[in-house]
Amino acid sequence: MSTFLYHTRAILTLGLPIIGSHLAQMLLTVTDTVLLGRYGAGELAAVTIGGSAFFVVFILGAGFGQAIMPLVAQAMGRGDELRVRRDARMGMWLSLAYGLAVLPVFWTAGAWLSALGQTEDVARLGQQFLRIAGFGMVPALLVMSLKSCLSGLGRTQVVLWVTLGGVALNLVVATGLIFGKWGLPEWGVRGAATATVVVQWATFAALGVYAQYHPDLRRFRLFSRFWRPDWATLVSVFRLGLPVGITGLAESGLFSAASVMMGWVGTVALAAHGIAMQSAALAFMVHLGLSNAATVLVGRAVGADDPQGLRDAGLVAVILSALFAGLIILVFLTLPGPILNLFTDPAKPDTPAILAYGTVLLALAALFQLGDAMQVMALGLLRGIRDTAVPMWAAAVSYWAIGIPSSYAMGFVLGWKGVGVWLGLSVGLALAAV
């Protein structure tokens, strides 16, 4: 088998289940959105803003769990099973500590939601949601740690199946607790938050039992003497993971700022933005999954002292991501109508305007596909060699110092409105990729 075919098979074997798990994770949010959309507009608005706030806090702490992936991959490349346990354990320690430390942020949600200009009703409901959802931060971060560890060990299929199980569980529990079905109390936004916490703990339990007791994984003893510290490893994981979290925060900040600015343009623009961004996000999940697979393979090559394997795996991953980006560009440019019609109601009076605006935004989404694909692939490859500090600064400058100001300048100084905002996104992503 040629080197290209060998690495293609390896990346797809690891990456396809990861892609599936990322898409399934998105379904959790979609499920809550659909259910609360039927329950009430105020509740939907509160959980939308509350969920965004939860994600911002989560993405910073998730860096510690994500750092486990390259560390475990390198340890496996060296055949150092003891290091696998130490890296995974200290990553979970940091995740646990961060999750507990941020609880007060969620408990005081009403005050800062009001300070951010939300209505009294949205702030009140948002606080109800976040005071419960905050207790899901710890299991959510621990799940990230276990997913990264299992991916580093090449066990990506279980991550997919457990995530899909979480989607099914969330649908049942959230339906029951939001609407008061099957003898359960009708809790509205509190029901949505409770369902989320239940799913997060259930997912952690399922992955934890698998990691601890599967016959092929027992030798790692991930949870054996979990309370024992390894301070040197803790510092190592912290130094690797904090830049990963800040990088994720920088990117999410770029897109959050774009959403705010699209709201300044108008309701139709914001609706079209939401559809186009959701479509772009689905495509991004494929690149993210390929990037995760590349992190594992590059990490193993580093651990095994195999520079040729490192180069080959990296090259194949970039080619696969570029090919998929080309396909998405073609789809966004030639099939905007069918994509937009999936998210719109023909009977609504604003639909024609949303379709027209959305067609333009999908064309702009096609414009930044290569930049978005290349930046996340570069991050994955660099994480495989444990290089996260310089990419953090590159992301912060590209997104916050260049991308956001470019969006504002082109959107409102030059008067290009939504088109200018999206061109700013393209500038930030392209600069990060370079």
Q: Tell me: do 75 and 144 sit in the same domain.
A: yes
Q: Tell me: do 215 and 251 sit in the same domain.
A: no
Q: Answer for the pair 44, 36: CB distance below 8 angstroms, yes or no.
A: yes
Q: Answer for the pair 325, 351: CB distance below 8 angstroms, yes or no.
A: no
Q: Tell me how many degrees the CA angle 379-383-384 measures, rounded to the nearest 5.
A: 120
Q: Can you spell out the DSSP letters for 66-122?
A: HHHHHHHHHHHHHT-HHHHHHHHHHHHHHHHHHHHHTHHHHHTHHHHHHHTT--HHH
Note the pLDDT of residue 40.
66
Note down the domain range covering 344: 244-434
Number of domains in the chain: 2
Inside any domain, residue 90: yes
Note the pLDDT of residue 17.
87
Predicted TM-score (pTM) of this structure: 0.84
Note the pLDDT of residue 339.
85
pLDDT by residue, tens only, the chain of 434 residues? 567 788 788 888 888 888 888 888 777 777 776 677 667 656 766 776 777 778 888 888 888 988 898 888 888 888 888 888 889 899 999 999 999 999 898 888 888 777 766 667 777 888 888 888 889 899 999 998 999 899 888 888 888 899 889 889 988 998 898 888 888 888 888 888 899 899 999 999 999 999 888 888 888 888 877 888 889 989 999 998 899 999 988 888 888 788 778 877 877 787 787 778 878 888 888 898 899 888 888 888 888 888 888 888 888 889 999 999 999 999 999 998 888 887 666 777 777 888 888 899 999 999 888 888 999 999 989 988 888 889 999 999 999 999 999 999 999 999 899 899 999 999 999 999 99
Inside any domain, residue 177: yes
Inside any domain, residue 234: no
Q: Tell me: do 154 and 126 sit in the same domain.
A: yes
Note the pLDDT of residue 413.
93
Q: Answer for the pair 287, 378: CB distance below 8 angstroms, yes or no.
A: no
Inside any domain, residue 237: no
